[in-house]
A = this chain, B = another copy of it.
Amino acid sequence: MELNDFSLIWAALGIGVLGIIFVLLKMRQVLAFDAGNATMREIASAIQAGAAGFLRDEYRILAIFVAVVTVAMFLLMQWQSAASFLLGAVTSAGAGYLGMYVAVRANVRTAAASSRSLNAGLRVAFGSGSIMGMSVVSFSIVGLTLLYILFDGQIAYVTSFGFGASSIALFARVGGGIFTKAADVGADLVGKVEQGIPEDDPRNPAVIADNVGDNVGDVAGMGADLFESFSGSIIAATTLGLVAVNPETAVLPFIVAGLGIVAAFLGSLLVRTREDADQEALLATLSRAIYASSGLVALFAAGAIAALNNILGWDIAWRYWWVVVIGLVAGNLIGWFTEYYTSYTRRPTQGIAEAGSTTATLIIEGLAVGMNSAVLPVVTVAVAIVASLTVGGPEAGMFSVALAGVGMLSTLGITLATDAYGPVADNAGGIAEMSGLPGEVRDRTDALDSLGNTTAATGKGFAIGSAVLTALALMAAYVSETGITEWDLLSPVLLPGLLVGGMLPFFFAARTMTAVGRSAQSIVEEVRRQFREIPGIMEREQKPDYKACVAISTRSSLREMILPSLIAIAAPLVVGFVMGPEALAGLLMGAIVSGFLLAVMMANAGGAWDNAKKWIETGEYGGKGSDYHKAAVVGDTVGDPFKDTSGPSLNILIKLMTIVSLVFAGAMGSGLLNLG
Residues of chain A having any CB pair with chain B under 8 Å = 189, 355, 358-361, 363-365, 367-372, 374-375, 378-379, 381-383, 385-386, 389-390, 397-398, 401, 468, 472, 476, 479, 484-490, 492-493, 495-503, 506-507, 509-511, 513-514, 516-517, 585, 589-590, 593-594, 596-597, 601, 634, 637-638, 641, 675
Contact = CB atoms under 8 A, between A and B. Distances in A.
Contact of A502 (B359, B378, B490): B378
Contacts of A472: 495
18 contacts: A358-B634, A358-B637, A360-B637, A360-B638, A364-B517, A364-B638, A364-B641, A372-B507, A374-B507, A375-B503, A382-B495, A385-B492, A386-B493, A389-B490, A390-B492, A398-B490, A485-B490, A499-B596
Given A365-B514, A375-B506, A401-B495, 14 more contacts: A363-B363, A364-B513, A368-B509, A374-B503, A374-B506, A374-B507, A382-B497, A383-B496, A485-B488, A485-B489, A487-B489, A498-B593, A499-B596, A506-B601
A510 B638 contact: no
Given A385-B495, A502-B596, A634 B489 contact: no
B517 A490 contact: no
B485 A378 contact: no
A363 B363 CA distance: 9
A488 B488 CA distance: 9
A643 to B, nearest CB: 13
B492 A386 contact: yes
Given A371-B506, A513-B364, A638-B360, A589 B498 contact: yes
A385 B597 contact: no
Contact of A378 (B355, B390, B503): B503
A476 B489 contact: yes
A379 B360 CA distance: 32
B507 A375 contact: yes
Q: Top 5 closest A-B pairs, CB basis?
A: A382-B496, A360-B637, A389-B492, A371-B510, A502-B593
A190 to B, nearest CB: 12
Q: Which of A489, A501, A638 has the most CB of B within 10 A?
A: A489
Contacts of A390: 492, 675
A462 to B, nearest CB: 17
Contacts of A507: 371-372, 374-375
A496 B593 contact: no
Nearest to A513: B368
A368 B484 CA distance: 36
A367 B637 contact: no
A593 B368 contact: no
A389 B579 CA distance: 14
A490 B397 contact: yes
A593 B381 contact: no
A489 B486 contact: yes
A277 to B, nearest CB: 35
A518 to B, nearest CB: 10
A640 to B, nearest CB: 8
Nearest to A372: B510
B487 A487 contact: yes
Contacts of A383: 496
Nearest to A485: B489
Nearest to A369: B510
Nearest to A401: B495
A467 to B, nearest CB: 13
A154 to B, nearest CB: 23
A517 B361 contact: yes
Nearest to A359: B634
Nearest to A468: B499
Contacts of A593: 498-499, 501-502, 590, 593-594
A612 to B, nearest CB: 14
A497 B593 CA distance: 10
Contacts of A489: 398, 476, 479, 484-487, 585
Given A389-B492, A485-B490, A360 B634 contact: yes
A479 B641 CA distance: 40
B506 A638 contact: no
Contacts of A637: 358, 360-361
Q: Which of A355, A492, A497, A637 has the most CB of B within 10 A?
A: A492
A370 B511 CA distance: 11
A391 to B, nearest CB: 10
Contacts of A374: 503, 506-507
Given A368-B510, A382-B500, A490-B485, A358 B189 contact: yes
A565 B190 CA distance: 47
A333 to B, nearest CB: 15
A479 B494 CA distance: 14
Contacts of A368: 509-511, 513-514
Contacts of A369: 510
Contacts of A497: 382
Nearest to A375: B507
A506 B516 CA distance: 25
A509 B364 CA distance: 11
B371 A499 contact: no
A193 to B, nearest CB: 8
B386 A503 contact: no
Nearest to A368: B510
A471 to B, nearest CB: 11
